[in-house]
Structure 1
Amino acid sequence: MSNWIQKTYSYQIPVKYHFFFWIGYFIVNFVRWGSYFDDYVYSLKSNLVEFTIHIFLTYFHIYYLIPKFVLKRKFTLYFIAAIVSLTVVYVARTELNLLLVSSNIWPEAIGAQKAYSFNHIVAVTIGEIYVVALVTAIKLTSDWIYERKKNESLKQLQLQTELKYLKSQIQPHFFFNTLNNLYYLTIEKSEKAPDVVLKLSEIMQYVLYDVKEPKIGLLNEINYIQSYLELERLRHGDKITSEIQIKGNIDDIDIPPLLLLPFIENCFKHGSKNNDAVSLDIQFENAKDEQLIFSATNNFNVNTSKEKKHGIGIENVRRRLELLYENRYSLETKIIDNTFNVLLKIPIL
């Protein structure tokens, strides 16, 4: 708790708001007591004296006593300092009222009351505590609101930072795989190698320059997936068969960039073994303008899945989905009759 309070005191309310508060509070008291006594001259004089003392005591409490004693858990010293400060304030307020305002020290009291009497001391002390408590409550409330907004901003920044990190993992992961393919072709002195370099340069342009925004058009992402499939066909030739189906209108749908590629990569990881054929079916569906449904199905090679290392792709996507959509998404991956199936549902924003 003390750590929270200490953090909030790092925030300073702009001076103009202090000014507006005290002016407003002064006017209310001036009108109130002027109307009560039907003597606005007396109300003006007494409030000028008392508000000067209120301001001194309030700021002394907020900016000195609390940071020096309360935040350091020196509560005994805090109470001693508070009692001493209230005593000094009482004496100063009483003497200044007697000197500058009126010899009738407590005109609103029933019967004649003298200065330094028990009743007068209690009344003045309670009045000062009321003002200090009111202003301190306003300060703490303001600081709490500020701290809450700051924490929300920090949380969003943390999420954005993690999302950028996860997205940055995808790019080298993809290029590493593609360069391996290119290396394979150059060893075989394949005529396809130059075409792979050209296609890779197109994809690099997309990844390095076109996906800096948090959202990108789904059509652009599909074109990117098609470019990736063309790269795989350059390597494997007719052994790669794929089909992309689109249901509904997807022209205006935006999604986080590079969100779907790991699923496509995963299909090739599971589907190829010793240059075996890979059959891949991909489908995009706009479900009633509320939900985007992405599905991918490919032939599954059990021996390949056991031998190959567990990649970062799918786990990366799961983490990104959690950060982006919390519990508003659905992701299923399962194996049915030697086929690997992916079904992803995300809200259309």
Structure 2
Amino acid sequence: MNFIRWGAYFDDYSYSLKSNILEFIIHIPFAYFNLYFLLPKFILNHKYKEYLFWLFASIFLAYMIRTFLTYYLITEDIWPETNKDYKPYNINYIVAVVIGELYVLAIVTSVYLTMVWINERNRNKALIESQLKIKLEFLKNQIQPHFFFNTLNNLYSLSLQSSSKVPEVIIKLSKLMEYVLYDINDVQCVPLLKEIEYISNYIEIEKLRFSDVVSIFNIESEIENVQIPPLLLISFIENAFKHGGVNNKNLIIKLNVQIIEEQLHFVIINNFNPDTKTKLKGGIGMNNLQKRLELLYKSGFILEEKVKFNYFIIRLQIPLQYED
């Protein structure tokens, strides 16, 4: 562009081509010297005076090389663009060369720093996503030993009673373990139907221990293609058994699933003992759930709790995810 612009302006394409080739031969090493030596060595270490010294020292060297080569290889009239006879060390010529070098340097450095900023932003974004994934995986894995610890306690209680229900509990537990170990391994989402089946198996295990438990599962919408993060809803069920009824007797659990305007609405209602503290922030499972929801959806979810007529009600609303 410079070659064409100045060649047309002064009607001297030969001089314009030679002078531009010479200038860019000097610009290139000067620019890389600034980017890969001066900036890292001085600017990143906050040595600004040293940077300015070496910057102008290198500009002076570039001026000397450019003037020498122009004089001996191209023309003795080192600045013909001005239509004046300038000598190599004229102050106007020195200022013009310095400004030209700084102009090129500013453009190159701006492009380079923009590229560095974009790469650093992408790297930080990838790092944050990786950290969130690790944290989510940790929270998901934390649920599993917590849940199986509770279930094994149930199984132990039945074994002490020499109950005939023990084999059936073991079979149900094996299905739950199969889901946790294989079905949700290294996946971000699972079919909602699978998660409901998992919850149903858990409830059936609890029913074997507490025969007077009543559960009602109501699905009001088409959910075949709906996906949710694995083990997201089990904490609600555990919470209901933990705080519901009177010593888990006469426990009533109602679960409702509905799709409204691209949102999954999950509601669980259970009776509870007013003397038992029932709070979202109590217990590993509910604490875990709150953290996972914040990591997964940030502020894009609704989690509410309330008490009405000795019934504890939790409502969860999350954005829908579909099967590919």
Distance in 2 (alpha carbons) for counterparts of 1:83 and 1:103: 25
Q: Find out whether 1:206 has 2:206 as its counterpart.
A: no
Give the TM-score normalised by the residue count of structure 2: 0.94
Q: Is the 8 A contact 1:295 1:343 kept in 2?
A: yes
Which deviates further from its counterpart, 81-90 or 122-131? 81-90
Which ranges of structure 1 fall in alignment gaps of 5 or more residues?
A: 1-27
Q: What secondary structure sits across from 1:303 in the alignment?
A: coil
Distance in 2 (alpha carbons) for counterparts of 1:275 and 1:54: 81
Q: Is the 8 A contact 2:245 2:252 kept in 1?
A: no
Which ranges of structure 2 fall in alignment gaps of 5 or more residues?
A: none
Shift in Å, 1:245: 0.4
Shift in Å, 1:273: 4.1
Distance in 1 (alpha carbons) for counterparts of 2:275 and 2:170: 31
Q: Is the 8 A contact 1:330 1:346 kept in 2?
A: yes
Shift in Å, 1:48: 1.9
Q: Find out whether 1:118 has 2:130 as its counterpart.
A: no
User: How many residues of Structure 1 are paired with residues of Structure 2 in the alignment?
Assistant: 318
- Which residue is 1:286 aligned to? 259
Q: Is the 8 A contact 2:139 2:292 kept in 1?
A: yes
Which residue identity does 1:72 align to in structure 2?
Answer: N
Q: Is the 8 A contact 1:282 1:294 kept in 2?
A: yes
- Which residue is 1:21 aligned to? none
Q: Is the 8 A contact 1:270 1:302 kept in 2?
A: no
- Which residue is 1:14 aligned to? none
Q: What secondary structure sits across from 1:245 in the alignment?
A: strand
Q: Is the 8 A contact 1:294 1:343 kept in 2?
A: yes
Which residue identity does 1:138 align to in structure 2?
Answer: V
- Which residue is 1:327 aligned to? 299
Distance in 1 (alpha carbons) for counterparts of 2:174 and 2:205: 11
- Which residue is 2:311 aligned to? 339
Q: Is the 8 A contact 1:269 1:305 kept in 2?
A: no
Distance in 2 (alpha carbons) for counterparts of 1:275 and 1:207: 26
Distance in 1 (alpha carbons) for counterparts of 2:77 and 2:26: 19
1:121-160 paired onto structure 2 within 5 Å: 121-160=94-133
Cα offsets for 1:76-134 (capped at 9, x unmatched): 11111112111111111000001111111001114222211000000011000111111
Distance in 2 (alpha carbons) for counterparts of 1:68 and 1:291: 54
Which residue identity does 1:172 align to in structure 2?
Answer: P
Aligned residue among 190, 193, 198 for 1:216: 190
Give the TM-score normalised by the residue count of structure 1: 0.88
Aligned residue among 76, 96, 109 for 1:103: 76
Q: Find out whether 1:235 has 2:209 as its counterpart.
A: yes
Shift in Å, 1:337: 1.8
Aligned residues with identical type, % of pairs: 49
1:5-154 paired onto structure 2 within 5 Å: 28-154=1-127
Q: What secondary structure sits across from 2:299 in the alignment?
A: coil
- Which residue is 2:270 aligned to? 298
Q: What secondary structure sits across from 1:302 in the alignment?
A: coil
Q: What secondary structure sits across from 1:108 in the alignment?
A: helix
- Which residue is 2:169 aligned to? 196
Distance in 2 (alpha carbons) for counterparts of 1:98 and 1:119: 17
Q: Is the 8 A contact 1:269 1:304 kept in 2?
A: no
Which residue identity does 2:193 align to in structure 1?
Answer: L
Shift in Å, 1:164: 0.8
